[in-house]
Amino acid sequence: MKTELTVNGRTHVVEIEPRTTLLDVLRDGLGLTATHAGCEHGVCGACTVLVDGEAVRSCLILGVQADGLDIRTVEGLTSGDGTLDIVQDAFCETHGLQCGYCTSGMILAAHALLRVNATPDEEDIREAISGNICRCTGYQQIVEAIALAAERMRTSNVLGAGEVVK
């Protein structure tokens, strides 16, 4: 089925079998492997992407359903030249990860939160990532990373720092 996917600002017209999830379309069809498969049944959150700015599990959307939606993945956060955005850099600063497998989903869940809440408290942050399972960190350094990112966005003098997903 012919589908128009807008991923990280670029529009692709792709032929998708209806049974293929958006997760598999991103990874296998578009080569965007930053989005990871964890459970494929909508519990672990490793496959989280942003759809119209909101965090969504890409294993719970069929590729054909994503027709016309604005999809963002971690590949779209930076230009790929080695610079990191504020959230990514905060995760490095607090070591908010270990194996890295849940990290893409965590970072996008953080973006979805920070888009609507510039001053999240710990409870807000824990709620925002409660649908993303991490087996390495026990979450604490992730919570610290997101709090740090929020703080840096608020205090940054860089134009648009708060609008991390452009």
Q: For another protein, which is the closer residue by CB, 126 or 152?
A: 126
Q: For another protein, which is the closer residue by CB, 24 or 150?
A: 24
Q: Which amino acid would we find at residue 68? A: G
H/E stretch holding 151 reads helix 140-155
Alpha-carbon distance of 21 to 60, in angstroms, equals 7
- The first and second tokens of residue 143, run together, are 């919570």
Q: For another protein, which is the closer residue by CB, 6 or 141?
A: 141
One-letter-per-residue 3-state SS of 83-136: CCCHHHHHHHHHCCCCCCCCHHHHHHHHHHHHHHCCCCCHHHHHHHCCCCCCCC
The least CB distance from residue 44 to another protein, in Å, is 6
Q: For another protein, which is the closer residue by CB, 1 or 163?
A: 1
Helix ranges, 9-85 (H): 22-24
The sign of the dihedral angle between the CA atoms of 152, 79, 84, 70 is positive
Q: For another protein, which is the closer residue by CB, 112 or 148?
A: 112
The least CB distance from residue 62 to another protein, in Å, is 7
The least CB distance from residue 116 to another protein, in Å, is 10
The least CB distance from residue 130 to another protein, in Å, is 5
Q: What are phi and psi of 158, to 5 degrees?
A: -75, 130
The least CB distance from residue 165 to another protein, in Å, is 14
